[in-house]
């Protein structure tokens, strides 16, 4: 197959939502349709034995929430789908924001009972910044939820995006009858099946008597009135508006009962964009260029606890990636080769020899790669727009077992490289402080240190407002500053100098007193 054909058959997208809207459950069902799994797992369930495939970390199974983005690739109707399931919980939002840089479109899951929630709004802002196409799935129709028209108005209002329903529910909750597909004019009758796939019924005309027989006269008349209203109120669905991120098509269904998911997937592969051009510091890179380029958007330590390996996730942006080829590492300005590259199915993986634009490849890394790195065929360009965050909560690491100091240090270092937390070591006394964006991260770090590195640690709260990276054009002034503030100077894992400010007012005062010193809130600064 040519490069153009390979690009045309790929769809790379992320699934985003507020916690508990049903993101991971929907992911499972999409995998089921793709034939990647035979039986869908559940996030928390006593009756279904399998855990959700994308929640493979031990802590995810225990808590019933996703804490890291998982990558899954599968084929459906000759289309290669790369799906990224992101954590919904605000404390892990960093991972989600970074993942959004690596996808071409997004499916947003909304709970029909709760409507649009806070985290959904934040995530939508990130999509809007990049004009990412968004497709909306309103979930949990098997429960008594809000009126569908009310939900659509709320989505338009809170997320500032126009919507166009492409399917419509017939009642909901206990009397839920099914979903009518407006795009393909077919009817799906609801039968509760949690783990297998069933076929729907085609109805070409909703005014036929057949509809009355299937769902009852009252519901049939209601559906006819609703469809008439939709077609009167909403303009015709225009694919171009969707691709520009101006309109979000809306589907209704119940992911846990596997309902409405197939319609979503069928329409998605038809309208979603194949891999799109991306901005770099030098120029825009198009996917169909012959030379390879790609960037690292995520690092995961210990994908396999037995082997202590680190995997860097690479998004291929142009050309063809080949295993064991020498590529140029732009930040380090040197050649680098990967003898084994893998494709994912959450935790399961297989070795790949080649990958095309849109694909996500896992590279085994010994510490050369960082989040945001660009790999190319030799051209000096860097992909832009990968966010880095300044930590907001700081706690000191207290070692509970002196015999396991080595394991603790190694564990901390490897987990920090994932980019979800940052480690600061004070110059005086060598105290170690971890900074994160959300408080739940500490529990995850503690749990993973114990289970993956058998090191026991506790975290003690610290009175720190901000970590500021410091630099100065005058080395003498910098040394004077370090000497005067020695107690508050630390180093990050890359040995860069950091000033630990205790309050906003104090930081302001220090900035006024030392005008020659530059204070930066992220580690990726340019002097």
* Confidence at residue 219, expressed as pLDDT on a 0 to 100 scale: 83
Task: Find the helix or strand (DSSP H, E) in which 61 lies.
Answer: helix 58-63
Cα separations (Å) of 107 from 12, 24, 65, 256? 11, 12, 18, 16
Enumerate the β-bridge partners of residue 316.
294
Does residue 6 sit in helix, strand or coil? helix
Residue 35, pLDDT above cutoff 50: yes
- Where do the DSSP E strands lie in 59-133? 70-76, 79-85, 105-111
* Confidence at residue 346, expressed as pLDDT on a 0 to 100 scale: 46
* Confidence at residue 49, expressed as pLDDT on a 0 to 100 scale: 43
* Confidence at residue 63, expressed as pLDDT on a 0 to 100 scale: 46
Tokens in use for 460? Answer: 């003690």
Q: Are 331 and 370 in contact (CB under 8 A)?
A: yes
Tell me the domain boundaries of the chain: 3-70+91-271, 278-376, 393-520
DSSP classification of residue 235: P
Task: Answer whether CATH 3.30.70.3280 is correct for domain 393-520.
Answer: yes
Q: Are 92 and 18 in contact (CB under 8 A)?
A: no
Average pLDDT, the chain: 81
State pLDDT tens for residues 43-102.
444 334 455 555 545 555 554 444 455 777 888 888 888 888 776 555 556 667 778 888
**CA–CA separation, 267 vs 251, rounded Å?**
10
Residue 133, pLDDT above cutoff 90: yes
**CA–CA separation, 87 vs 122, rounded Å?**
13
Tell the residue number behind the tokens 């928390």, with chain if given: 44
Question: For the whole model, what pTM was predicted?
Answer: 0.77
State pLDDT tens for residues 420-469.
788 999 988 889 999 887 777 888 888 888 888 888 989 998 899 888 88
DSSP classification of residue 18: S
Q: How far apart are the first and last CA of the chain?
A: 46
Q: Could you tell me whether strands 432-436 and 421-426 are parallel, antiparallel, or unpaired per DSSP bridges?
A: antiparallel
* Confidence at residue 43, expressed as pLDDT on a 0 to 100 scale: 46
Task: Find the helix or strand (DSSP H, E) in which 16 lies.
Answer: strand 10-17
Phi/psi of residue 505, each to 5°? -65, -40
Residue 270, pLDDT above cutoff 80: yes
Residue (of 202, 208, 161, 209) closest to 178 by Cα position:
202
* Confidence at residue 235, expressed as pLDDT on a 0 to 100 scale: 87
**CA–CA separation, 177 vs 58, rounded Å?**
38
CATH number assigned to the domain with residue range 3-70+91-271, chosen from the 4 options 1.10.10.1400, 3.40.50.10710, 3.40.50.300, 3.40.640.10:
3.40.50.300
Widest CA span in the chain: 88
* Confidence at residue 508, expressed as pLDDT on a 0 to 100 scale: 92
| CATH fold for domain 278-376 | Rossmann fold (3.40.50)
Cα separations (Å) of 240 from 46, 270, 272? 44, 13, 10
**CA–CA separation, 424 vs 467, rounded Å?**
9
Residue 395, pLDDT above cutoff 80: yes
Q: Are 372 and 295 in contact (CB under 8 A)?
A: yes
Tokens in use for 221? Answer: 């008349």
* Confidence at residue 375, expressed as pLDDT on a 0 to 100 scale: 92
* Confidence at residue 66, expressed as pLDDT on a 0 to 100 scale: 44
* Confidence at residue 200, expressed as pLDDT on a 0 to 100 scale: 60
* Confidence at residue 310, expressed as pLDDT on a 0 to 100 scale: 76
Instruction: Answer whether 3-70+91-271 and 278-376 agree in fold.
Output: yes
Range with the lowest mean pLDDT among 85-94, 313-322, 518-527?
A: 85-94
Residue 363, pLDDT above cutoff 60: yes
Q: Could you tell me whether strands 70-76 and 79-85 are parallel, antiparallel, or unpaired per DSSP bridges?
A: antiparallel
* Confidence at residue 213, expressed as pLDDT on a 0 to 100 scale: 79
Phi/psi of residue 486, each to 5°? -50, -40
Q: Which of 188-202, 252-266, 280-294 has the highest mean pLDDT?
A: 280-294
* Confidence at residue 240, expressed as pLDDT on a 0 to 100 scale: 92
Percent with pLDDT over 70 in the chain: 84
- Nearest 5°: CA angle at 242, between 320 and 16? 75
Assign 413 a pLDDT band (cuts: 50, 70, 90): confident
pLDDT (average), residues 488-517? 90
* Confidence at residue 376, expressed as pLDDT on a 0 to 100 scale: 92
Tell the residue number behind the tokens 């209704």, with chain if given: 252
Residues in the chain: 527
Q: Are 126 and 97 in contact (CB under 8 A)?
A: yes
State pLDDT tens for residues 280-312.
888 899 999 999 999 988 887 665 656 556 788
* Confidence at residue 20, expressed as pLDDT on a 0 to 100 scale: 77
Q: Are 326 and 334 in contact (CB under 8 A)?
A: no
| pLDDT greater at residue 266 or residue 185 | 266
Residue 480, pLDDT above cutoff 80: yes
pLDDT (average), residues 203-229? 81
Assign 328 a pLDDT band (cuts: 50, 70, 90): very high
């Amino acid at each position: 197959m040519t490069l153009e054909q390979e690009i045309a058959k790929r769809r790379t997208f992320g699934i985003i939502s507020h916690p508990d809207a049903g993101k991971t459950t929907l992911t499972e069902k999409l995998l089921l349709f793709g034939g990647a799994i035979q039986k869908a797992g559940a996030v928390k369930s006593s009756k279904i034995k399998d855990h959700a495939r994308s929640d493979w970390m031990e802590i995810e199974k225990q808590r019933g929430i996703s804490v890291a983005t998982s990558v899954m690739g599968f084929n459906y109707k000759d289309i290669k789908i790369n799906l990224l399931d992101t954590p919904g919980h605000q404390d892990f939002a960093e991972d989600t924001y970074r993942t959004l840089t690596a996808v071409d479109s997004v499916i947003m899951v909304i709970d029909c009972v709760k409507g649009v929630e806070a985290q959904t709004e934040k995530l939508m802002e990130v999509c809007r910044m990049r004009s990412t196409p968004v497709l909306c799935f309103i979930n949990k129709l098997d429960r008594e939820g809000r009126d569908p028209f009310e939900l659509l108005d709320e989505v338009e209002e809170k997320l500032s995006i126009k919507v166009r329903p492409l399917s419509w529910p017939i009642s909901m909750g206990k009397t839920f009858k099914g979903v009518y597909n407006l795009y393909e004019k077919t009817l799906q009758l609801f039968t509760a099946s949690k783990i297998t796939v069933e076929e729907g019924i085609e109805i070409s005309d909703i005014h036929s008597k057949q509809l009355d027989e299937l769902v009852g006269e009252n519901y049939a008349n209601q559906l006819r009135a609703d469809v008439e209203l939709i077609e009167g109120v909403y303009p015709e669905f225009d694919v171009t508006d969707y691709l520009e991120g101006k309109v979000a098509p809306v589907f209704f269904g119940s992911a846990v009962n596997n309902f409405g998911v197939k319609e979503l997937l069928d329409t998605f592969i038809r309208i979603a964009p194949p891999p799109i051009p991306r901005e770099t510091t030098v120029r825009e890179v198009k996917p169909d260029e012959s030379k390879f380029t790609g960037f690292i958007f995520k690092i995961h330590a210990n994908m396999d606890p037995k082997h202590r390996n680190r995997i860097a996730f690479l998004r291929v942006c142009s050309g063809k990636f080949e295993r064991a080829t020498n590529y140029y590492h732009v930040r380090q300005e040197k050649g680098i080769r990967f003898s084994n590259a893998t494709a994912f199915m959450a935790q399961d993986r297989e070795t790949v020899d080649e990958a095309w634009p849109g694909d996500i490849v896992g590279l085994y890394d010994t510490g050369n790669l960082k989040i945001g790195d660009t790999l190319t065929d030799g051209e000096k360009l860097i992909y832009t727009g990968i966010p880095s965050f300044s930590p907001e909560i700081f706690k000191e690491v207290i070692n509970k077992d002196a015999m396991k100091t080595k394991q603790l240090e190694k564990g901390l270092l490897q987990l920090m490289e994932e980019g979800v937390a940052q480690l600061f070591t004070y110059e005086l006394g060598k105290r170690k402080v971890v900074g994160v964006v959300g408080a739940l991260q500490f529990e995850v770090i503690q749990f993973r240190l114990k289970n993956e590195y058998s090191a026991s640690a506790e975290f003690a709260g610290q009175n720190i407002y901000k970590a500021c990276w410091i630099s100065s054009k005058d080395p003498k002034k910098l040394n004077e500053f370090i000497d005067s503030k020695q107690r508050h100077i630390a180093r990050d894992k890359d040995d860069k100098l950091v000033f630990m400010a205790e309050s906003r007012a104090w930081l302001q005062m220090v900035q006024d007193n030392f005008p020659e010193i530059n204070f930066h809130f992220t580690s990726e600064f340019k002097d």
